[in-house]
Amino acid sequence: MQTREQFLRERDPRRHRADHHPSFSSTLLDSIYRSIDEPHPRAGSSHSSTLFRDLRTPRKKHPVAASAEEEEEEEGEDEEEEVRDAVLVTDGDSEMGQMIILSLIVKRTRVKTLVKDKRMANEAFGDYVESVAGDMNSKQFLNTTLRGVRVIICPTEGFLYNIGSLKGIKHVILLSQLSVYEGSSGIQAMMRGFSKKLAEQDESKLMASGLPFTIIRAGALQDTPGGERGFCFDEGCSAKGSLSKEDAAVICVEALSAVPQGGFAFEVVNGEEKVSDWKQCLIKLMEMAD
């Protein structure tokens, strides 16, 4: 998994040029610094933001206080009623997962994410994100991971089919490439065969779950700048068109504001239609789908 600086450098190797428009990721992190009213290190400051540094390095707790807090946490685990205000991003190691996480951070959302390497995740996001790593086939680990989670965002295929109960989850958002896989042919179809199977299983599991869900059937995801083009939501568009990864991340996060009564799926690619209010756009698409 990349560190934050590696991620930003690869996404935009020219980011230090004065005449270059800031990258999507740089803009997001800049927003965080501006929101705490302290100088951004890249803006000429000789030191990092104190608040940001404190978030990256948790304060040490007094042994007695720490022990008391641990006991309270253990007692809280046994309570049936719990506060569910977190969004779980299921693949924090992926590029799409990291872009979604950054968007959630800017919205001051409590974020949990599944990763393979917690140390690298902590280096990338610090205390802005609660990273968890383990075996999703373990019921105990699954229960721990989903504790406090209200919404799940799946930026890649393969998570939903392998897990058991999603009790307590209020909304699942799935970024699906199934239409792209189904539109493949020849060698490309063979190479995407396994991914297609996982995507089919995820969608089937979600549709049978009884939970409110949003399936975003995107066109082929591209490494192009987001926010520069409009969109198209026509039926069948995702099999032929493409969508900026940055735009896809924004749509996943904006879908949090429009929770369907049951299941809801729509196709989207970059096109000509401008969207200024994603909540209203998604509500309109829901009404058209009914």
Please list the residues that pair with 154 across neighbouring strands: 174
Return the pLDDT at 27: 56
126-136, pLDDT tens digit by residue?
Answer: 889 999 998 87
Residue 56 maps to a domain: no
The answer to whether 116 and 135 have CB atoms below 8 angstroms apart is no
* Residue 83 buriedness (CB in 10 A; 0-12 / 13-18 / 19+): exposed
For residue 283, give every residue at least 6 positions away whose Cβ sits within 8 Å of its Cβ, in sequence order, or none.
Answer: 258
Number of structural domains in the chain: 1
The verdict on pTM exceeding 0.95 is no
Q: Name residues of the chain where pLDDT drops below 70.
A: 1-81
Residue 26 maps to a domain: no
| CATH number of the domain residue 102 falls in | 3.40.50.720
Return the pLDDT at 111: 96
Residue 176 maps to a domain: yes
Return the pLDDT at 49: 34
SS3 13: coil
Residue 107 maps to a domain: yes
Lookup: tokens for 230: 């409009």
Quote the domain boundaries for residue 131. 84-289
Residue 63 maps to a domain: no
Return the pLDDT at 125: 86
The answer to whether 177 and 94 have CB atoms below 8 angstroms apart is no
Angle at 174 (CA atoms; ends 169, 180), nearest 5 degrees? 165
- CA separation, residue 3 to residues 7, 92, 95, 113, 126 (Å): 6, 12, 12, 15, 10
Return the pLDDT at 185: 80
Using only the alpha carbons of the chain, give its radius of gyration. Answer: 20
Residue 204 maps to a domain: yes
Lookup: tokens for 170: 């209020």
Angle between helices 95-106 and 24-35 (to 10 degrees): 30
Lookup: tokens for 38: 């302290």
Return the pLDDT at 193: 86
Residue 28 maps to a domain: no
